[in-house]
Amino acid sequence: MNLRNCKLKHPIRTINRATRFASAPSVGVTTTIVFIIALISTAFSVSTAAAADRGRVRVLNGTVVTDRNTPLRGATDTLIPGVDRDWSFWRYLHEKLHLNAIRFGAKTDATRPIEQQLPALDKAVDAAAANNMYLMINNSTRRGEYNLSELIKFWSVVAPRYKNRTHVFYEMTNEPTQGGPHWGDASQYTDKVRADLMTVYRLMRAAAPDTHIVMFSGGNLYPDCNTYAAMVAKMRGIDWTKTSIGFHHYAGTAKFGEPGLICLKYRYPLIMTETSFWIAPFYFLEFALNRYEKLGISWFSLDGKAGRANHLRDEIIPNLKSAGYTWPME
C-alpha cells in the first residue's frame, strides 16, 4: 500500500465574521464587536483543541484502559532527530488496523539532548491527538541498562510539558536491567535499581500529578508471580490508580505463563509494552498477543517503526481475527 497516496489533509476553514459589520455606522462599535468575536473565536479554538485529545487512560480490572474502557492496542514508533516524517502513517494504523495507541521512544544522550528533540516530540503528540490515538512516550539509552542522569533530564522537561495533554501517558524507561536467566528477572531489581526508579517516579509524579506512569518495562516477567510481586511491594509510595507495571513478552514471560499473569494482575495493574516474533530466537511467540486479548491486558507490538507495519497487517491481526478477537475503530 502506497501510504503517500493515503495522506489526508485537513485545511482549516476561516470565516471573516468582521465583514458582516462592514456597513455599520460606528467604527468604534464595529471594532468592539469584532474584538469580542475574536475573543470568542479564540476561546472556541482552544476548547476544540483540548476536545481533540482523548480522555486519560485509567486502571481497570488489572490493566490500563482507554476512556471507553477498551484495552490499549498499539504499535511502536521511534523519534528520529532531524527526520520530518509523514504522520499520515499513524492514520493508517488507526483507520485500517484499528489500533488506538502508539508507543513512542525517544533516546537521549550527550549527542542528542531532549531539548533538540522537543519539536519532533510536539508533532508526535499532536499527530496522535489528530488520529484519536493515545501516545505513550518512552525514554531510554540502550537496552538492558538505564542512565539515571538522562532519565532525570528527560522527564524534568517532558513530564510537565505534556501533563495537560490527556491522551499522553508516560513509560519511564525501556528494559532497564539485564542478565540471566532472563532480562527483567525480579532479582535484577536490586536496592539501588529500585531506589533509582523511585527517584524518577517521584520526579515524574510531582511534575504530572494526573498522568499515568508505566514503570519497569523489563524484558520479561520472571520467575513467578509471588517473587515478582514481593519485589514490587518493596517500592513504597506508588499510586497504583495512576501507575502500572510494564513488561515485555519474550521467553521469560512465556514461562511466567498465563497463571502468573492472572495472579499478578490481581495485585498490580499490568500493561505489556513490547513483543516481537520476527526476530530470532523468538519465532515461537507468533501468537503471543492472543494471550493478552484472552486475559484483557493491554498490549503493544514492536512492529510499526519506519512507517512499516507488515507484521501487524499480514500476520498478527489476521491471527487474532482467526482466534475470534476483533474490535472496531475508535
Query: What are the respective helix, strand and coil percentages of the chain, to the nearest 5?
Result: 45, 15, 40
Measure the CA–CA gap between 56 and 29, rounded to whole angstroms: 43
Whether 204 has a pLDDT exceeding 90, the answer reads: yes
| Within a domain: 330 | no
36 and 68 housed in the same domain: no
Sign of the Cα pseudo-torsion (247, 248, 251, 257, in order): positive
pLDDT at 265 over 60: yes
Strand ranges (E), 185-241 = 213-218
Residue 1 has pLDDT above 60, yes or no: no
In this prediction, residue 82 has a pLDDT band, given cuts at 50, 70 and 90, of: confident
37-53 in b/e form (b: 16+ CB < 10 A) is eeeeeeeeeeeeeeeeb
190 and 312 share a domain?
yes
pLDDT at 50 over 70: no
Q: Is residue 300 part of a domain?
A: yes
Domain residue limits at 181: 56-322
CA-to-CA distance for 241 and 64, rounded, in angstroms?
10
Asked if 39 and 61 sit in the same domain, the reply is no
Domain of residue 242, CATH code: 3.20.20.80
Q: What is the pLDDT of residue 180?
A: 95
**Per-residue pLDDT at 92 exceeds 50:** yes
Q: Which tops the pLDDT comparison, 306 or 172?
A: 172
Residue 327: inside a domain: no
The residue among 50, 73, 91 that closes a domain is 50
CA angle 308, 82, 103 (to 5 degrees): 45
Sign of the C-alpha dihedral, residues 112, 115, 119, 121? positive
Mean per-residue pLDDT over the chain, rounded = 86
Q: Is residue 4 situated within a structural domain?
A: no
